[in-house]
Amino acid sequence: MPQVLRFAAVISLILTCVVLGAGSAGAAEANHHQPNVCTGTLASPGVLAGKYRGDVVLVGVCAVNGGAAVVKGDLILAPGSALNATFALNDVTGKGTSSLTVFGDVKVGSGAVLAMGCEPNFSPCTDDPKAKTGGTLTGQNHVFGDVIGKQALAVIIHASTIGGSVSVSGGGGGVTCAIPQTGVFHVLKSPVFSDFEDNVIGGYLAVAGLQSCWLGALRNHVGRSVVAVNNTLADPDANEILANLVHGSIACFGNSPAVQYGDSHSSPNLVMRHAFGQCAFNVKKPNPAPNGPLTPISVKV
């Protein structure tokens, strides 16, 4: 079978897994008669902290800012909910650190927002005293299973360790960079976006059918393949999928705008196997756009 056809079959299998995996949240809840629940509002977020033996269901708005939160099962973000795990310190007691550890999967439901992880310069921690000047703290977050978003509003992951795969299917706030009138992004005064930076991902990273303002995937170490298919973004600077170390292959098809350097001043993806579509080895784009020198999107290592 030609390489393109063989990898197209792999893409189909990955996207099937995205849809089927994300749809299993209800089954996960059914397996635990009394799941733990974290509830809160934008004005008064709940605090996810301590050890939970089974699944945790998040309803409303919760934050991981009260010490270590350890979930032995799945962490399930109900439709329309939001989790802010972008803290490094224990802001409840004023002493120690905060972190999120999930031994199962993190499942991000329709219209939900997952913000996990933080790091200096690229995404400073919410409670970093030096955040305004770039910050010095880094979050400590670890998911042993998968992160699965199905029709999620936004999935934003920085400087985290994911033992399984990260997959996002559909969702976003629409092809617009307007600031929403309500919700988390209204409070942040930010357009809706999804982003994956400086993570260690044991499996694959796949984003398909996202409609949003901006999408980025930068400097991730990916144990398997990277797939970006049919994502439509409003920001002409969007689709910066760059500087990733990919142990498998990379494939980018049907994205608008096409994968590019934009203003990132980044570097090519380092790919150990094959590269296809907008991320192919022979594709070159201005770095930075629009007038920088033509630079490969991906190079083989």
> Which stretches within the chain are classed as H helix?
3-22, 25-30, 184-188
Residue 200 CB partners (closer than 8 Å, separation 6+) = 160, 161, 162, 220, 221
pTM for this model (two decimals): 0.90
| DSSP structure string for 38-95 | EEE-SSS-EE--EEESS-EEEEEEEE--SSEEEESS-EEE-TT-EEEE---B-TTTSS
Query: What pLDDT is stored for residue 33 in this prediction?
Result: 53
Residue 176 tokens read as: 């617009």
Query: What pLDDT is stored for residue 17 in this prediction?
Result: 40
Query: In this model, does residue 1 exceed pLDDT 80?
Result: no
Query: In this model, does residue 8 exceed pLDDT 80?
Result: no
pLDDT, tens only, 235-280: 999 999 999 999 999 999 999 999 999 999 999 999 999 999 999 9
| Residue (of 122, 75, 66) closest to 94 by Cα position | 66
Kindly report the average pLDDT of the chain as a whole number. 91
**Pairwise CA distance, residues 144 & 188, whole Å:** 29
pLDDT, tens only, 72-105: 999 999 999 999 999 999 999 999 999 999 999 9
DSSP SS3 for 252: strand
Query: In this model, does residue 21 exceed pLDDT 50?
Result: no
Query: In this model, does residue 18 exceed pLDDT 90?
Result: no
**Pairwise CA distance, residues 228 & 239, whole Å:** 9
Query: In this model, does residue 188 exceed pLDDT 80?
Result: yes
Categorize the per-residue pLDDT at 35 as very low, low, confident or very high, splitting at 50, 70 and 90.
confident
Query: In this model, does residue 2 exceed pLDDT 60?
Result: no
Residue 209 CB partners (closer than 8 Å, separation 6+) = 169, 170, 171, 229, 230, 231
Query: In this model, does residue 133 exceed pLDDT 50?
Result: yes
